[in-house]
Protein backbone atom coordinates (compact mmCIF):
# COMPACT_ATOMS: atom_id res chain seq x y z
CA UNK A 1 0.00 0.00 0.00
CA UNK A 2 1.29 3.43 -0.93
CA UNK A 3 1.20 6.62 1.11
CA UNK A 4 1.80 10.26 0.24
CA UNK A 5 4.56 11.85 2.29
CA UNK A 6 6.59 15.07 2.04
CA UNK A 7 9.94 15.16 0.29
CA UNK A 8 11.77 15.68 3.58
CA UNK A 9 10.10 12.57 5.04
CA UNK A 10 11.09 10.56 1.95
CA UNK A 11 14.67 11.79 2.29
CA UNK A 12 14.66 10.61 5.89
CA UNK A 13 13.07 7.24 5.06
CA UNK A 14 15.46 6.53 2.18
CA UNK A 15 18.45 8.03 3.95
CA UNK A 16 19.28 10.44 1.11
CA UNK A 17 19.38 14.22 0.73
CA UNK A 18 16.48 16.41 -0.51
CA UNK A 19 18.38 16.97 -3.72
CA UNK A 20 18.59 13.22 -4.20
CA UNK A 21 14.81 12.99 -3.72
CA UNK A 22 14.17 15.75 -6.32
CA UNK A 23 16.57 14.12 -8.76
CA UNK A 24 14.75 10.78 -8.43
CA UNK A 25 11.44 12.57 -8.99
CA UNK A 26 12.75 14.19 -12.21
CA UNK A 27 14.15 10.93 -13.52
CA UNK A 28 10.91 9.13 -12.69
CA UNK A 29 12.30 6.76 -10.13
CA UNK A 30 9.92 8.17 -7.53
CA UNK A 31 6.22 8.80 -8.20
CA UNK A 32 5.10 12.22 -6.94
CA UNK A 33 2.17 14.58 -6.87
CA UNK A 34 1.86 18.34 -6.32
CA UNK A 35 -0.67 19.74 -3.87
CA UNK A 36 -0.97 23.41 -2.96
CA UNK A 37 2.47 24.09 -4.48
CA UNK A 38 4.13 21.38 -2.44
CA UNK A 39 5.54 18.12 -3.77
CA UNK A 40 4.51 14.85 -2.16
CA UNK A 41 5.93 11.45 -2.94
CA UNK A 42 4.25 8.06 -2.95
CA UNK A 43 6.05 5.66 -0.62
CA UNK A 44 5.34 2.01 -0.15
CA UNK A 45 4.99 0.86 3.47
CA UNK A 46 7.51 -1.89 2.72
CA UNK A 47 10.21 0.74 2.19
CA UNK A 48 9.67 2.10 5.70
CA UNK A 49 9.89 -1.32 7.31
CA UNK A 50 12.97 -2.28 5.29
CA UNK A 51 14.62 0.93 6.48
CA UNK A 52 13.86 -0.02 10.10
CA UNK A 53 15.18 -3.51 9.44
CA UNK A 54 18.39 -2.02 8.05
CA UNK A 55 18.72 0.15 11.14
CA UNK A 56 18.19 -2.85 13.43
CA UNK A 57 20.72 -4.90 11.45
CA UNK A 58 23.28 -2.05 11.69
CA UNK A 59 22.75 -1.82 15.46
CA UNK A 60 23.25 -5.55 15.80
CA UNK A 61 26.45 -5.34 13.73
CA UNK A 62 27.78 -2.55 15.96
CA UNK A 63 27.01 -4.54 19.12
CA UNK A 64 28.69 -7.61 17.61
CA UNK A 65 31.83 -5.63 16.72
CA UNK A 66 31.84 -4.09 20.21
CA UNK A 67 31.65 -7.54 21.77
CA UNK A 68 34.53 -8.75 19.59
CA UNK A 69 36.64 -5.75 20.68
CA UNK A 70 35.87 -6.43 24.36
CA UNK A 71 36.83 -10.08 23.93
CA UNK A 72 40.07 -9.09 22.18
CA UNK A 73 40.92 -6.55 24.91
CA UNK A 74 40.26 -9.13 27.65
CA UNK A 75 42.57 -11.62 25.92
CA UNK A 76 45.22 -8.92 25.56
CA UNK A 77 44.98 -8.04 29.26
CA UNK A 78 45.35 -11.72 30.23
CA UNK A 79 48.38 -12.05 27.94
CA UNK A 80 49.97 -8.91 29.40
CA UNK A 81 49.39 -10.10 32.99
CA UNK A 82 50.95 -13.47 32.19
CA UNK A 83 54.03 -11.89 30.59
CA UNK A 84 54.30 -9.30 33.37
CA UNK A 85 54.39 -12.07 35.99
CA UNK A 86 56.97 -14.00 33.96
CA UNK A 87 59.18 -10.91 33.64
CA UNK A 88 58.96 -10.20 37.37
CA UNK A 89 59.93 -13.81 38.10
CA UNK A 90 62.87 -13.60 35.67
CA UNK A 91 64.11 -10.36 37.24
CA UNK A 92 63.87 -11.85 40.75
CA UNK A 93 65.85 -14.90 39.63
CA UNK A 94 68.52 -12.69 38.05
CA UNK A 95 68.70 -10.58 41.20
CA UNK A 96 69.22 -13.70 43.34
CA UNK A 97 71.98 -14.89 40.99
CA UNK A 98 73.72 -11.49 41.10
CA UNK A 99 73.56 -11.42 44.91
CA UNK A 100 74.98 -14.95 45.00
CA UNK A 101 77.91 -13.90 42.75
CA UNK A 102 78.59 -10.80 44.88
CA UNK A 103 78.59 -12.89 48.07
CA UNK A 104 81.09 -15.34 46.58
CA UNK A 105 83.29 -12.43 45.45
CA UNK A 106 83.14 -10.94 48.94
CA UNK A 107 84.12 -14.30 50.44
CA UNK A 108 87.05 -14.55 48.01
CA UNK A 109 88.20 -11.04 48.91
CA UNK A 110 87.90 -11.79 52.64
CA UNK A 111 89.95 -14.96 52.32
CA UNK A 112 92.58 -13.13 50.22
CA UNK A 113 92.70 -10.36 52.83
CA UNK A 114 93.10 -12.87 55.68
CA UNK A 115 95.86 -14.65 53.79
CA UNK A 116 97.70 -11.39 53.11
CA UNK A 117 97.31 -10.36 56.75
CA UNK A 118 98.76 -13.66 57.97
CA UNK A 119 101.70 -13.34 55.53
CA UNK A 120 102.33 -9.78 56.67
CA UNK A 121 102.22 -10.83 60.34
CA UNK A 122 104.78 -13.59 59.68
CA UNK A 123 107.07 -11.20 57.81
CA UNK A 124 106.64 -8.54 60.49
CA UNK A 125 107.56 -11.06 63.23
CA UNK A 126 110.65 -12.11 61.26
CA UNK A 127 111.68 -8.48 60.86
CA UNK A 128 111.03 -7.81 64.52
CA UNK A 129 113.10 -10.85 65.58
CA UNK A 130 116.06 -9.74 63.48
CA UNK A 131 115.88 -6.24 64.90
CA UNK A 132 115.07 -6.88 68.57
CA UNK A 133 117.38 -4.11 69.65
CA UNK A 134 115.44 -1.49 67.60
CA UNK A 135 112.52 0.44 69.07
CA UNK A 136 109.76 0.47 66.40
CA UNK A 137 108.62 3.95 67.22
CA UNK A 138 108.88 6.19 64.16
CA UNK A 139 110.91 9.37 64.27
CA UNK A 140 110.13 12.40 62.15
CA UNK A 141 112.88 13.21 59.62
CA UNK A 142 113.04 16.81 60.89
CA UNK A 143 113.67 15.52 64.42
CA UNK A 144 116.43 13.28 63.04
CA UNK A 145 118.06 16.26 61.34
CA UNK A 146 117.86 18.31 64.56
CA UNK A 147 119.35 15.45 66.57
CA UNK A 148 122.25 15.06 64.14
CA UNK A 149 122.86 18.82 63.97
CA UNK A 150 123.12 18.85 67.77
CA UNK A 151 125.89 16.29 67.28
CA UNK A 152 127.76 18.58 64.84
CA UNK A 153 126.64 17.07 61.52
CA UNK A 154 125.94 19.23 58.43
CA UNK A 155 122.89 18.86 56.17
CA UNK A 156 124.89 17.20 53.40
CA UNK A 157 126.49 14.77 55.89
CA UNK A 158 123.06 13.86 57.27
CA UNK A 159 121.64 13.28 53.76
CA UNK A 160 124.53 11.09 52.69
CA UNK A 161 124.34 9.20 56.01
CA UNK A 162 120.63 8.43 55.44
CA UNK A 163 121.22 7.31 51.83
CA UNK A 164 124.14 5.14 52.85
CA UNK A 165 122.11 3.47 55.63
CA UNK A 166 119.18 2.81 53.29
CA UNK A 167 121.54 1.22 50.72
CA UNK A 168 123.21 -0.94 53.39
CA UNK A 169 119.81 -2.19 54.60
CA UNK A 170 119.95 -0.67 58.08
CA UNK A 171 116.56 -1.58 59.60
CA UNK A 172 116.30 1.83 61.25
CA UNK A 173 116.11 3.52 57.80
CA UNK A 174 113.44 2.21 55.43
CA UNK A 175 112.60 3.66 52.02
CA UNK A 176 108.92 3.27 51.11
CA UNK A 177 108.79 2.90 47.31
CA UNK A 178 105.04 3.62 47.09
CA UNK A 179 105.04 6.89 49.04
CA UNK A 180 108.69 7.66 48.16
CA UNK A 181 109.40 8.56 51.77
CA UNK A 182 112.09 7.53 54.21
CA UNK A 183 110.86 6.08 57.48
CA UNK A 184 113.27 6.39 60.41
CA UNK A 185 112.76 4.24 63.50
CA UNK A 186 113.83 5.74 66.83
CA UNK A 187 117.16 4.62 68.22
CA UNK A 188 120.02 6.11 70.20
CA UNK A 189 122.04 6.40 66.92
CA UNK A 190 125.31 6.21 68.92
CA UNK A 191 126.98 4.40 66.02
CA UNK A 192 126.22 7.36 63.68
CA UNK A 193 127.49 10.22 65.89
For residue range 31-75, what is the model confidence (pLDDT) as tens digits? 888 888 888 988 877 655 445 555 555 667 777 788 888 999 999
DSSP reduced 3-state for 41: strand
pLDDT surpasses 70 at 80: yes
Q: Where are the alpha helices (DSSP H) in the chain?
A: 7-14, 18-27, 45-130, 141-150, 155-168
Q: What ranges do the domains of the chain cover?
A: 2-48, 133-192
- From 1.10.3710, 1.10.10, 1.10.3470, 3.30.420, which CATH number describes the 2-48 domain? 1.10.10
For residue range 94-139, what is the model confidence (pLDDT) as tens digits? 999 999 999 999 988 988 888 887 777 766 565 555 544 444 688 8
Q: What is the pTM of this model?
A: 0.31
What pLDDT sits at residue 58?
A: 66
Amino acid sequence: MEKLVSTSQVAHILGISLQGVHYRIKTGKLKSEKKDGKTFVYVDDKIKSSKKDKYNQTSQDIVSVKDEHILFLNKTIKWMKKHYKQEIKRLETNQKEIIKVFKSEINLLQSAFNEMRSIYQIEHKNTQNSTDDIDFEIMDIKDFFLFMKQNNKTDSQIKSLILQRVKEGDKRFVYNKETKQIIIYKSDFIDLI
